Amino acid sequence: MQRFPAGFLWGASTAANQYEGGWNEGGRGMALTDVMTAGQRDRRITWIDKFGSPHASQAIGFTLPADAQYAVLEDYDYPNHQGSDFYHHWREDIELFEQMGFRAFLLTISWSRLFPHGIEDEPNPDGIAFYRQIFEELRQRGIEPMVTLWHGDTPLYLEEKLGGWSSRETVRLFVKYAETCFRSFRGLVKYWMTFSEINSLIAHIDLDPEKYSPEIWQAAYQQTHFMLVASAMAVQIGHEIDPENRIGGIIMAETVYSASPDPVDVQTTLSSWERNVYYAGDVMVKGTYPLLAPKHWKAHKIVLDITDEEREILKNGTIDFYAFTYYNSQIADREHGREAGDNPALKEDSWGNVYDPQGLRIFMNIIHDRYGLPVFVVENGLGTQDVLDEERIHDPYRILFLKEHINQVALAVQDGVPVLGYLVWSAADLVSNATGERSKRYGLIHVDMKDGGRRRPKDSFYWYRDVISSNGEKLEEDSGEDSPE
């Protein structure tokens, strides 16, 4: 029995702010990630107050004070400035993608490369030309170009002057940017994702709900609402410009289990799914907030600013497929919410990673049952330390991780879930979003930024090439139903 359908989209994904580099080249403006530092568990945002004094503040929940300015400061490392320098290595990288047999490659268009401040009347022609040559090269090599319109890199000017996604004006400017992309790359790009992990603002603060003030909770829900409105408007415009476009939105998967059979723990788990998965998913797929949304607004004293016009926009801007990222699962109980510690049913590997391949299959079945749409795994991978050994990177731990997760995708397909494709995170090593590190490596291709961005295929590169060429058959024949050893 064939485990994956013909035309299954195998490939990998990246994000501009972590991978692209060229932060001050080609007419690109600054994004918020350009003032985010590296080397700390909680990344910092750097800025200058109205008196000219420099500051570095925790990124999550940060609001720029009045009359202050974001700034790049001396004595700080800003790894996103270079990323993995795809800006200068894109031809080499695409050639390597072709060698792996990629059928699809998902990248982010950097909004500030097309509209440096976000407010310009016309897009930056150098930015349009940069991405067009990439899409043309991918197509020439038989690789389907896919685009995420927003992956955390709002133009810095909009963050500073408008408060970013706290403003309806940012919605309008995003929609203008999205329309520019749809028109500029019509015929080159068919698969689009509006936002990456659109549920993450709420999900991140919900990990430690007592830590954050009511103002931060209000901001997270309001910003998420404006993103959902912007997404719905972009979906409508994208379909009008080219009816062949297939447009999705990316949800951060949250497979959460109850820590015990205690009914209160079970209800806590269900509430986590409601807040962190169904809340945004229902809006994107069904066009309306779930019936239980007011319960969660009330719990955090949220007063959502939403108009009747926006409700209509949400109704008419639903997505074509459900894309999501998946890395691990969590457990929940009444005392800790979904941060209830390690799952005793899961094992830790030799690198200290605890992951849950079966949670991927569970999530896919639950989501398809709820929404009935095709699903697309657009991020799944292992970040860890790799060791360069005589010009080779032996990464059996990554191969094991990917094999076990791909096996679970195959089982989901056999369950009857329509799956469009599977994209490894990431095609090549890049800057960690959480910490700004380079040493936490996810790529199938090793990138050495201390050696001019030199690329080296890892063992997983060659393994994944064989997986793709066999359409997923070159995995262990017995995928099994049991948890990985």
Beta bridge partners of 249: 322
379 assigned to active site: yes
Tell me, rounded to whole angstroms, the distance of Cα 260 from its chain centroid: 31
Which residues face 146 on adjacent strands?
Answer: 106, 191
Q: CA Rg, the chain, in Å?
A: 21
Contact, 37 vs 76, CB < 8 A? yes
- Among the listed residues 197, 254, 404, 437, the single catalytic one is 197
Q: Which residues pair with 107 in a beta bridge?
A: 147
How many helices (H) and strands (E) in the chain? 15, 17
Task: Give yes or no: 404 in active site.
Answer: no
- In the block, residue with structure tokens 């919410």: 337
Tokens of 203: 């999900």
* DSSP symbols for 360-429: HHHHHHHHHHHH---EEEEE----B---EETTEE--HHHHHHHHHHHHHHHHHHHHT--EEEEEEE-SB-
Judged by phi (left if over 0) then psi (alpha if -120 to 50, else beta), residue 68 lies in beta
- C-alpha 202/C-alpha 208 separation (Å) is 11
Rounded CA gap, 50 and 68, in Å? 5
Instruction: Calculate ∠ Cα 307-312-313, nearest 5°.
Output: 95
The two structure tokens encoding residue 415 = 């369950």
Residue 281 near residue 409, CB atoms below 8 Å: no
Catalytic residues: 197, 379
